[in-house]
Amino acid sequence: MTTETKIKPPAWFWIVSVLALLWNLAGAMAYIGQAYMSDEVRAAMTEAERNLYETQPAWVTAAFAIAVWGGTIACIFLLLRKKWAKPLFVISLLGLLGQMSYNFFMSDTFEVYGPNAMIMPIMILVIAIALIVFSNKAIAKKWIS
Protein backbone atom coordinates (compact mmCIF):
# COMPACT_ATOMS: atom_id res chain seq x y z
CA MET A 1 0.00 0.00 0.00
CA THR A 2 1.40 3.36 -0.96
CA THR A 3 0.74 6.57 0.85
CA GLU A 4 1.24 9.94 -0.68
CA THR A 5 1.87 12.94 1.46
CA LYS A 6 -0.21 15.97 0.66
CA ILE A 7 1.53 19.29 0.93
CA LYS A 8 -0.51 22.21 2.18
CA PRO A 9 -1.45 24.33 -0.84
CA PRO A 10 -0.95 28.08 -0.84
CA ALA A 11 -3.88 30.43 -0.26
CA TRP A 12 -4.12 31.24 -3.97
CA PHE A 13 -4.89 27.55 -4.67
CA TRP A 14 -8.08 27.91 -2.62
CA ILE A 15 -8.96 31.23 -4.26
CA VAL A 16 -8.53 29.83 -7.76
CA SER A 17 -10.44 26.66 -6.84
CA VAL A 18 -13.41 28.59 -5.39
CA LEU A 19 -13.47 31.00 -8.36
CA ALA A 20 -13.35 28.00 -10.73
CA LEU A 21 -16.28 26.43 -8.89
CA LEU A 22 -18.29 29.65 -9.13
CA TRP A 23 -17.42 29.90 -12.84
CA ASN A 24 -18.58 26.34 -13.47
CA LEU A 25 -21.74 26.85 -11.40
CA ALA A 26 -22.55 29.83 -13.62
CA GLY A 27 -22.16 27.50 -16.60
CA ALA A 28 -24.42 24.95 -14.91
CA MET A 29 -27.05 27.66 -14.41
CA ALA A 30 -26.76 28.59 -18.09
CA TYR A 31 -27.30 24.92 -18.97
CA ILE A 32 -30.36 24.67 -16.73
CA GLY A 33 -31.71 27.90 -18.22
CA GLN A 34 -31.32 26.51 -21.73
CA ALA A 35 -32.49 22.97 -21.00
CA TYR A 36 -35.63 24.14 -19.17
CA MET A 37 -36.38 27.29 -21.15
CA SER A 38 -39.95 28.44 -20.71
CA ASP A 39 -42.34 29.09 -23.57
CA GLU A 40 -42.38 32.78 -22.59
CA VAL A 41 -38.60 33.06 -22.98
CA ARG A 42 -38.74 31.23 -26.31
CA ALA A 43 -41.54 33.51 -27.50
CA ALA A 44 -39.37 36.56 -26.73
CA MET A 45 -36.61 35.29 -29.06
CA THR A 46 -36.29 36.40 -32.63
CA GLU A 47 -37.35 33.85 -35.21
CA ALA A 48 -33.70 33.15 -36.12
CA GLU A 49 -32.74 32.63 -32.46
CA ARG A 50 -35.72 30.35 -31.84
CA ASN A 51 -34.90 28.33 -34.97
CA LEU A 52 -31.28 27.99 -33.83
CA TYR A 53 -32.42 26.77 -30.41
CA GLU A 54 -35.10 24.40 -31.71
CA THR A 55 -32.90 22.74 -34.35
CA GLN A 56 -29.97 22.08 -32.03
CA PRO A 57 -29.34 18.31 -31.89
CA ALA A 58 -29.70 16.49 -28.57
CA TRP A 59 -26.00 15.52 -28.64
CA VAL A 60 -25.06 19.21 -28.42
CA THR A 61 -27.19 19.63 -25.31
CA ALA A 62 -25.59 16.47 -23.90
CA ALA A 63 -22.11 17.86 -24.67
CA PHE A 64 -23.07 21.10 -22.91
CA ALA A 65 -24.22 19.10 -19.86
CA ILE A 66 -20.99 17.06 -19.81
CA ALA A 67 -18.94 20.26 -20.05
CA VAL A 68 -20.61 22.13 -17.20
CA TRP A 69 -21.34 19.27 -14.80
CA GLY A 70 -17.93 17.67 -15.40
CA GLY A 71 -16.25 21.00 -14.67
CA THR A 72 -18.37 21.60 -11.58
CA ILE A 73 -17.61 18.17 -10.13
CA ALA A 74 -13.93 18.61 -11.01
CA CYS A 75 -13.86 21.84 -9.00
CA ILE A 76 -15.42 20.06 -6.03
CA PHE A 77 -12.67 17.45 -6.29
CA LEU A 78 -10.09 20.26 -6.37
CA LEU A 79 -11.53 21.65 -3.16
CA LEU A 80 -11.46 18.15 -1.66
CA ARG A 81 -7.82 17.91 -2.84
CA LYS A 82 -8.44 14.84 -4.99
CA LYS A 83 -6.58 14.28 -8.24
CA TRP A 84 -9.77 13.02 -9.88
CA ALA A 85 -10.19 16.70 -10.70
CA LYS A 86 -7.85 16.42 -13.67
CA PRO A 87 -9.62 13.64 -15.63
CA LEU A 88 -12.95 15.36 -14.93
CA PHE A 89 -11.57 18.63 -16.29
CA VAL A 90 -10.45 16.71 -19.40
CA ILE A 91 -13.93 15.18 -19.79
CA SER A 92 -15.41 18.65 -19.35
CA LEU A 93 -13.09 19.99 -22.07
CA LEU A 94 -14.15 17.20 -24.43
CA GLY A 95 -17.81 18.11 -23.86
CA LEU A 96 -16.97 21.74 -24.50
CA LEU A 97 -15.14 20.88 -27.73
CA GLY A 98 -18.14 18.87 -28.91
CA GLN A 99 -20.51 21.72 -28.19
CA MET A 100 -18.21 24.30 -29.74
CA SER A 101 -17.62 22.23 -32.87
CA TYR A 102 -21.35 22.33 -33.52
CA ASN A 103 -21.70 26.04 -32.73
CA PHE A 104 -18.65 27.06 -34.77
CA PHE A 105 -18.89 24.73 -37.76
CA MET A 106 -22.35 23.13 -38.05
CA SER A 107 -24.84 25.85 -37.15
CA ASP A 108 -25.73 29.42 -38.03
CA THR A 109 -24.76 30.73 -34.59
CA PHE A 110 -22.53 33.52 -35.87
CA GLU A 111 -24.94 34.54 -38.62
CA VAL A 112 -27.64 34.93 -35.96
CA TYR A 113 -25.59 36.52 -33.16
CA GLY A 114 -22.72 38.06 -35.12
CA PRO A 115 -18.95 37.62 -34.83
CA ASN A 116 -18.90 38.94 -31.24
CA ALA A 117 -20.58 35.67 -30.24
CA MET A 118 -17.13 34.04 -30.59
CA ILE A 119 -15.66 35.91 -27.63
CA MET A 120 -17.36 34.01 -24.79
CA PRO A 121 -16.81 30.49 -26.21
CA ILE A 122 -13.12 31.24 -26.76
CA MET A 123 -12.83 32.60 -23.21
CA ILE A 124 -14.54 29.45 -21.87
CA LEU A 125 -12.11 27.28 -23.85
CA VAL A 126 -9.08 29.15 -22.48
CA ILE A 127 -10.36 28.78 -18.90
CA ALA A 128 -11.09 25.06 -19.42
CA ILE A 129 -7.52 24.48 -20.62
CA ALA A 130 -6.14 26.63 -17.79
CA LEU A 131 -8.01 24.49 -15.24
CA ILE A 132 -6.39 21.35 -16.65
CA VAL A 133 -2.98 23.01 -16.39
CA PHE A 134 -3.84 24.15 -12.85
CA SER A 135 -4.86 20.62 -11.80
CA ASN A 136 -1.63 19.25 -13.32
CA LYS A 137 0.37 21.74 -11.28
CA ALA A 138 -1.59 20.85 -8.14
CA ILE A 139 -0.83 17.15 -8.69
CA ALA A 140 2.86 17.82 -9.39
CA LYS A 141 3.16 19.99 -6.27
CA LYS A 142 1.28 17.29 -4.27
CA TRP A 143 -1.42 19.76 -3.25
CA ILE A 144 -3.93 17.15 -4.40
CA SER A 145 -3.58 13.40 -4.54
Give the DSSP per-residue string, 43-61: HHS-HHHHHHHHT--HHHH
Tell me the pTM: 0.90
- pLDDT, residue 2, reads 55
* % of the chain with per-residue pLDDT over 70: 97
Mean pLDDT of all residues belonging to the chain: 94
Res. 58: pLDDT tops 70: yes
- pLDDT, residue 116, reads 87
- pLDDT, residue 120, reads 94
Query: pLDDT (tens digit, 9 = 90+) per residue, 31-57?
Result: 999 999 999 999 999 999 999 988 999
Helical packing angle, 58-79 and 85-105, nearest 10°: 150
**H, E, C per residue of the chain:** CCCCCCCCCCHHHHHHHHHHHHHHHHHHHHHHHHHCCCHHHHHHCCHHHHHHHHCCCHHHHHHHHHHHHHHHHHHHHHHCCCCCHHHHHHHHHHHHHHHHHHHHHCCCHHHHHCHHHHHHHHHHHHHHHHHHHHHHHHHHCCCCC
Q: What mean pLDDT do residues 129-139 have?
A: 98
Query: pLDDT (tens digit, 9 = 90+) per residue, 92-120?
Result: 999 999 999 999 999 888 888 988 889 99
- pLDDT, residue 3, reads 58
Res. 132: pLDDT tops 60: yes
